[in-house]
Amino acid sequence: MTDFNITIEDATKLLHQKMKHELRLQQKKGKIPVDLSIENISLKDLFNLLETSIFDLILLLPIDILLSQDNIFKFVESTVYSLATKIKREELFLFSSKDFKKRIQPILTNIEKQNQDLNFVKN
């Protein structure tokens, strides 16, 4: 089993960087005006960037960590709340790990099934 050791502070920095990257991509596509930043985009755009960034970061984790860490959603929630304070966007306190878990659970279930199928084939 792989250990998952990252502080909320480091995760917040990583999430913030990923969101800035996603914002630049959306600006290049013309979906968000270039003169806006994470601190002043619309709530809808903010949550879209947040969700996309979290998905990307979570799915970069090794599968064994992803499937074995029950508290990963609570960790994500704490990271988002820390980011809310850092970028002064109180709206991010509306983020719920339960809602996010509902969105990503089908993906995790599929990954787990594929992992089990792979283990079965190997045996």
pLDDT tens digits, 64-118: 777 776 678 888 899 999 999 999 999 999 998 888 888 888 888 888 888 777 6
| Separation CA 91–CA 87 (nearest Å) | 11
Indicate whether 1 pLDDT > 60. Answer: no
DSSP 32: S
pLDDT digits 0-9 by tens, 101-115: 888 888 888 888 887
DSSP 30: T
How many degrees, rounded to 5, is the angle at CA 59 between CA 58 and CA 63? 100
- Please tell me whether residue 5 adopts helix, strand or coil conformation: coil
φ and ψ of 21, to 5 deg: -65, -45
Q: What is the mean pLDDT of the chain?
A: 86
